[in-house]
Amino acid sequence: MASRIASGLLRRRAGATLGLLRSYTHVRNYSSQLSALIPATSQCSKLTRRYYLPNASPYQVWSRSFASDNGDKVEAVVPFMGESVTDGTLATFLKKPGDRVEADEPIAQIETDKVTIDVASPEAGVIEKFIASEGDTVTPGTKVAVISKSAQPAETHVAPSEEATPKESSPPKVEEKPKVEEKAPKVEPPKMQAPKPTAPSKTSPSEPQLPPKERERRVPMPRLRKRIANRLKDSQNTFAMLTTFNEVDMTNLMKLRSDYKDEFVSKHGVKLGLMSCFVKAAVSALQNQPIVNAVIDGDDIIYRDYVDVSVAVGTSKGLVVPVIRDADTMNFADIEKGINNLAKKATEGALSIDDMAGGTFTISNGGVYGSLISTPIINPPQSAILGMHSIVQRPVVVNGDILARPMMYLALTYDHRLIDGREAVFFLRRIKDVVEDPRRLLLDI
């Protein structure tokens, strides 16, 4: 009886062992087939096999599944820059390798023809290296930097001063020069030499002194400045530009602003400026002279039944012209809020392509810089531009009396191919009438 029990136990152990070996052989063959199907690239990790033990689960075949060796690394790429922008210039890096960055934190700036765009970090981590260089021309999707999500910020280590002590303490070696036998100098009789002609003095008045090259600096022109230069030159080459002038008495408008500035701020939360009145005056003049709001397109004239006013804003990187859209439907408060919002974006460099696209008419206020009078250049593809200037107290004749009044010169530069002098003068005259008597806007007269 005991022998039967022992033989039964032996058969069970032999069967279990045979099943285990078959299972392992099946797993090994399956692993080999997977290794043949999956390419051995740097993106996939090697498969590790785990041998079976008698009590091991039959599903624990590998110690870990497939994972990317770059799973800890992310790449910052150039974002989409707008429909009309195909490339840009990598202007500057805001960080350096080894710096810690947070998610969506800017690490570089791209200069385009119109705006400056930030390249943000997709994840929080440490900048491992930069792939692109400053000055490179990049397109959307170009890799700029590699960021490690688990690395620690680089620390600057200063070498201990003791390491340099032995080298500094050792006296410098003095090389011994070979001794040269001294010989008595030969004495030769003096020779008569003809006097040399005196060279002309470098400070001769006929030859101007130019500054040395060391006092000059050569830097690449920013992409935005190139675009501005090209557009202005194209405007000059394309349009038949002519400028007409007028002057406006600012007394009534400044009085209106002084009387209602506090109530205006308390109700609308924004200050009442002069620009909103000139925008409203320009809208009225454009509606009276729609040809000024039109544009030439080949052999056709396109008339616009809307008014989008571009406002020129000077920044440290160049002149930008954001657009106040549908200005003909806005009141004074809406225009002031729109101008303040665009000016803030321009100062912070946050203007987008959409903020500057389009525009049917431009207003440029050189008076904020102290300009007395100028001839502005048309902003293509528009047909005219209004130039405002500084307000100066000047003597004028009012009802036969000579009085000191705050006066401003206005300039309208227009495309003479499309706009005749008559329409241009009437346009500027309408702005003068509205500014000198703002009640006309209320009464529409």
Over residues 435-444, the pLDDT tens digits come to 999 999 888 8
Q: Is 26 a catalytic residue?
A: no
3 state SS of 422: helix
419 CB-contact burial (10 Å; exposed 0-12 / middle 13-18 / buried 19+): buried
Q: Is 157 a catalytic residue?
A: no
Across 60-67, average pLDDT = 33
pLDDT digits (tens, 9 = 90+) for 226-259: 888 888 899 989 999 999 999 999 999 999 999 9
Question: Which of 328, 334, 416, 437 does the annotation list as catalytic?
Answer: 416
Please give the single-letter amino acid code of residue 310.
S
Q: What distance lies between CA 79 and its chain's CA centroid?
A: 12
CA 417, 423, 427 angle in degrees (round to 5)? 125
Tokens linked to 241: 């530009």
Confidence of residue 36 (pLDDT cuts 50, 70, 90): very low
pLDDT digits (tens, 9 = 90+) for 360-400: 999 999 998 899 999 999 998 999 999 999 999 999 999 99
Across 140-147, average pLDDT = 89
- Measured in residues, the chain has a length of 445
**Beta carbons of 380 and 418 less than 8 angstroms apart:** no
3 state SS of 217: coil
Across 31-39, average pLDDT = 44
* Cα gap 180→177, rounded to integer Å: 9
Please give the single-letter amino acid code of residue 199.
A
Question: Which of 234, 259, 326, 420 does the annotation list as catalytic?
Answer: 420
- Asked if pLDDT for residue 165 goes beyond 50, the answer is no
* Cα gap 122→105, rounded to integer Å: 8
CB atoms within 10 A of CB 76: 25
Q: What distance lies between CA 66 and its chain's CA centroid?
A: 41
* pLDDT on residue 357: 84
